[in-house]
Amino acid sequence: MNNLDILNESKKYMPGGVNSPVRVFNGIDANPPIIKKGKGVSIWDEEGNEYIDFVLAWGPMILGHCNDKVVKAIEEVSREALAFGAPTKLELELSKIMCETLDYVDMIRMVNSGTEATMSAVKLARGYTNRNKIVKFGGCYHGHFDGFLVQAGSGVLTAGIPGSAGVPESSIENTLVAVYNSIESIEEVFKAHGKDIAAVIIEPIAGNMGVVPSNKEFLQRLRELCTEYGTLLILDEVMSGFRVAYKGAASLYGVEPDLVTYAKIMGGGLPCGAYGGKKEIMEKLSPLGPVYQAGTMSGNPVVMAAGVATLKEMHGNPKYYDHIEEVGAYLQKGIEVLSEKYNVSIRVNRVGGMMTMFFTSALKVEQYKDVRTCDEDLFKRYFVHMLKEGFNLPPSQYESMFLSTEHKKEHMDKFLKALESFLIKESK
Ligand SMILES: *Cc1c(COP(=O)(O)O)cnc(C)c1O
């Protein structure tokens, strides 16, 4: 069966042929390849075509696909420990690594996805503060939990829908939405509702409306407001954690969260998530406290082993982050030069190995409204061109590209060459 046959057959058994909506190409004139295997920066589809991968499973594969050390750890543990639903030393090991190497995590709870991490962190914040309201920012995505599906990013934004069906009004009546990177907006929200706000959740470096870093004064002001009103600040580092720096965005901004959420990289390619933070807050979780949250598979030994192998490798090799920054800067510069040369406006936002090329003539992309100025049709033509040239890219203007330790300058040169042939075509 070729790619298309498999996709068509899949559509009979799975809605849309996929298990997560972003995997099909929304409005793009191409079909997703069916991926069979991956190694390093490369992935191969069922027809044997090779692609240089800039999606990396939407972030997790920072060591490239099927890193030898991670695979070995999984192999070894899986021979004697799949699941027990009982305490294991492996979960202690990953928890200890995270608490000891991250600045703002005294205690941690393992879960199975980013969504589980964020929704549980919000519940904990509500239980701790005895308040109901939460604040999110337009364009940010925190998973598919009902309470977050208001002006959400990622697939919701790509599909151009305001939220999701099946979310009762009562699930979102306590969700307030503020404007990302607007001090004025967040001050207004606090002025009106401050005493009722349990938590503010934010992607400190947004990746789900394309990459839009928050600016420092904004994040600092947000921290001040949270402290002033007794509101918990939740940094959602599901994407940025262990990616923009080992210690995540929190370390780049020096802004102290009350709770932090992780997933993606920390699971080394297996399903994983975690939330952690200040001891006095975490101790409100059951079995110690009244906030109930549980999981049959939470802290699964195989997942923990993949996480330990990945985090040890990343923590032990700070030069990996230097390397990613170096190839990232090289790629960004190359894109900017080509954009100028062929007179096609592209704004590149990048923090380390997280990057979006916005096809817009806006001078800066700092807010959701700037993101919305992009030429989506141009993006779609670019995407199809790059796919044909052998590049696996996120199929949306509103997602981030990712780099791994395995991306080298030669891959960037190939990318730039393919981009140039696209721009030549467009500028004719
Ligand atoms: C991916 C992501 C999530 C959701 O994680 P899942 O594992 O897909 O549930 C939440 N927050 C952010 C910032 C993300 O990038």
Tokens of 400: 């981030």
d(CA 8, CA 174): 41
Distance of CA 421 from the midpoint of ligand 1 (Å): 34
- Residue 264 bears catalytic tag: yes
- Residue 51 bears catalytic tag: no
**Where do the domains of the chain lie, and which CATH numbers do they carry?**
3-66+317-427 (3.90.1150.10), 68-315 (3.40.640.10)
Q: Closest by alpha carbon to 240, among 217, 212, 218?
A: 212
* Amino acid identity at 396: S
pLDDT value of residue 37: 98
Distance of CA 127 from the midpoint of ligand 1 (Å): 22
Give the ligand 1 atom nearest the CA of 140.
Answer: 13
How many C-beta neighbours within 10 Å does residue 2 have? 12
d(CA 262, CA 391): 28
Distance of CA 114 from the midpoint of ligand 1 (Å): 4
The set of protein residues with a Cβ atom below 6 angstroms from ligand 1 is 113-115, 118, 141-143, 203, 207-208, 236, 238-239, 263, 273
| Closest residue by CA, ligand 1 atom 5 | 114
Distance of CA 391 from the midpoint of ligand 1 (Å): 23
Question: What are the pLDDT tens digits along the chain (428 aa)?
Answer: 999 999 999 999 999 999 999 999 988 989 999 999 999 999 999 999 999 999 999 999 999 999 999 999 999 999 999 999 999 999 999 999 999 999 999 999 999 999 999 999 999 999 999 999 999 999 999 999 999 988 888 877 777 676 788 888 888 999 999 999 999 999 999 999 999 999 999 999 999 999 999 999 999 999 999 999 999 999 999 999 999 999 999 999 999 999 999 999 999 999 999 999 999 999 999 999 999 999 999 999 999 999 999 999 999 999 999 999 999 999 999 999 999 999 999 999 999 999 999 999 999 999 999 999 999 999 999 999 999 999 999 999 999 999 999 999 999 999 999 999 999 999 88
Strand-by-strand arrangement of the 42-45 sheet: 35-39, 42-45, 50-53, 391-392
How many C-beta neighbours within 10 Å does residue 72 have? 12
Instruction: Indicate which residue of 104, 128, 141, 180 is catalytic.
Output: 141
